Structure 1
Amino acid sequence: MVAAIAASVAGSVAALAQSASPQAVGTSSAETPACTEGTQVETAEGPVCGTVSSGVRTYLGIRYAAPPVGALRWKAPQP
């Protein structure tokens, strides 16, 4: 029972984190709002949008490794 509740909460937190992130790598601009002016950069995987706050550019939601679930739990990041 506790494991089921923990899994549900973890899934909800992950969904909230993704929905709060700016454009993630690999999504089209039709799915997300326009970038803050001057913050879109091109990567090998496609464009990434960022934000500017107090002169600091921030790029959130960029995936760099496989999710650490199942056999990958507590292991080094995997591509």
Structure 2
Amino acid sequence: MSQDSRVREFIVEPQELLDALRVARAQSYWLDSSATYRHSIISWIEKTKRRGAKMKRIESVVEHCVRGEQIPSHRSS
């Protein structure tokens, strides 16, 4: 079993992220990204304690997905 397969089993996206991706019509890019990348981004979002900071990170993820880009500091190899 590959690492990506193992990670995929444990990914739980925050509802706010899923809603924002849906509204921006960026879900397909997000879902096509590797499980490792998505897990890294979700961890990054969840690490922040302030709601405002969390929403800002979600906004950044959505903006990158709309452009078809990964967040540079979180590119998976």
- TM-score strictly above 0.5: no
Q: Higher helix share goes to which structure?
A: 2
TM-score by length of 2: 0.32
TM-score, length-normalised on structure 1? 0.32
More relative contact order, 1 or 2 (CA 8 Å, 6+ apart): 2
